[in-house]
Structure 1
Amino acid sequence: MKKMNRTQQWRWIFFFVGQLILSLGITMTIKGEKLGIGPWDVLHVGLFRNFGLTIGSWSIITGFLIVGCTAAVLRRWPQIGTWMNMLLIGLFIDFFYWLIPPIYSTGGQTAIFIAGTAVMAAGVGMYVSPNIGAGPRDTLMLIITEKTGWSVKTVRTGLEVTVAIAGWLLGGPVGIGTVLIALFLGQLVHHTIPWFRTLLLRVCRGDETALGGKPK
């Protein structure tokens, strides 16, 4: 029982900390808007510019729509972690956007954008690794990966490009940074997910339940 409790604690720690890290990374890239922003955020900002609300609010709304679609495909409701991710990421984005001051220099925006991309990849890998429930967008990515047999980086890149085009049509800011995230974030996540899964197993002393498996 003690081992299970310790394992569950680590799983939730990875889940929550990963979401914080991901939200921070997203906000960092938005603060580097001179380069363009991440594809999903191009969509959220485009919706914000057309219909109001906040960037985080549109993250929650689009996440809810994706949850509905993936639930229909899987014929079951997603894990509680997916719902929590949908809500918390949007709230955290708005919080970090308020917390981080504007950056006006091109050099500063370039630096925070590059750093934010790496932070995003780390956040995705960390919160997905305990298998508590991937966020709506990453759930969609994992479903497509499972159904097609394509690699994570291929599916992620395809989704990022598609969403970037939709956001651009809505007037969202697109630039070289958008292209960089669309092309390379998926490749980074392809490495961070297994890395954090290995780390989680290590801190849980090899307990398979750390990855959401059945207890022995």
Structure 2
Amino acid sequence: MSTPGHIGRRLLQLYVGLTLYGVSSALLVASGLGLEPWGVLHQGLARRTGLSIGEVAIIVGAAVLLLWIPLRLRPGLGTVSNVFLIGLSLDATLALLPAAHSLLARVPLMFAGILLNGLATGLYIAARFGPGPRDGLMTGLHQRTGRSIRLMRTVIEVSVVVTGFVLGGTIGVGTVLYALSIGPLAQFFLRVFALPSESSGRIVAGRTPGRAILRR
């Protein structure tokens, strides 16, 4: 049985991580130098629909979660929280950020967004409350098709980037740097924020799905 203190720390990691994930996405949007793959899709849809990018992120997250049904996946608390909290914190951060017009301001925003995204990913995955809808889709397709995690991730992310770009999402140097660095960054922060096992005191980093999510 988990102690209240242990559960409390896990919940804190989960909700801080998801909030910071939304903040990191907002920093990339504000930089204007390229978004993460799903961010490209969210921004493209937002420009076509007139909705905010955070509202689109919530709608897309819920739609992806529906795809879990035929894959016979079960969402956890982290999965459902992911759908709502990231979009809400993304919009809230964008409302507070001043406009950045010069490269001198935009480049630091891009690097801060990428670094913070890796930190946030490590936080919420290490909490072990279930993967986000998009990561669960990837691992679910891997389990159902027998194809590698690397292939499933590549197919999904290339598809969303191309679709988002066609719709008007921003692709740039930030997109490339994100793709190259997010795996190592998230893996590093996953180790940093790994929780101790209550029974043995050892540090654990979660089950296989958590490692699979970060495999590039």
Picking from 69, 89, 92, the partner of 1:95 is 92
1:196 is the counterpart of 2:193: yes
Number of the residue aligned with 1:73 = 71
Picking from 184, 201, 204, the partner of 1:206 is 201
Number of the residue aligned with 2:52 = 54
The aligned runs of 1:66-215 (5 Å cut-off) are 66-74=64-72, 76-144=73-141, 148=146, 150=148, 156=153, 158-197=155-194, 200-201=195-196, 206=201
1:106-128 alpha-carbon deviations (Å, 9 max, x no partner): 12101110111010011011011
Number of the residue aligned with 1:16 = 15
- The question of whether the paired residues in 1 share the 8 Å contact of 2:71 and 2:141 is answered with no
Question: Given residue 84 of structure 2, which amino acid in structure 1 is its aligned partner?
Answer: L
1:93 CA displacement: 0.5
- Greater fraction helix: 1
Q: For 2:128, what is the secondary structure of its paired residue? A: coil
Question: Given residue 184 of structure 1, which amino acid in structure 2 is its aligned partner?
Answer: S
Number of the residue aligned with 1:4 = 3
Q: For 1:37, what is the secondary structure of its paired residue? A: coil
Residues 112, 80 of structure 1: alpha-carbon distance in 2 compared, 3 angstrom cutoff: same
Q: TM-score under structure 1 normalisation? A: 0.83
1:64 is the counterpart of 2:43: no
Percent identity reads 32
Residues 91, 204 of structure 1: alpha-carbon distance in 2 compared, 3 angstrom cutoff: farther
1:158 CA displacement: 5.0
Number of the residue aligned with 1:43 = 41
Question: Given residue 13 of structure 2, which amino acid in structure 1 is its aligned partner?
Answer: F
Number of the residue aligned with 2:29 = 30
1:80 CA displacement: 2.6
Runs of 4 or more off by more than 6 Å in structure 1?
A: 202-205, 207-210
Q: Structure 1: which 5+ runs fail to align?
A: none
| Pairwise CA RMSD | 2.8
Alpha-carbon separation, structure 1, partners of 2:34 and 2:149: 26
Q: TM-score under structure 2 normalisation? A: 0.83
1:148-182 alpha-carbon deviations (Å, 9 max, x no partner): 57467x75555433321110111212112122223
Alpha-carbon separation, structure 1, partners of 2:5 and 2:202: 10
1:202 CA displacement: 7.3
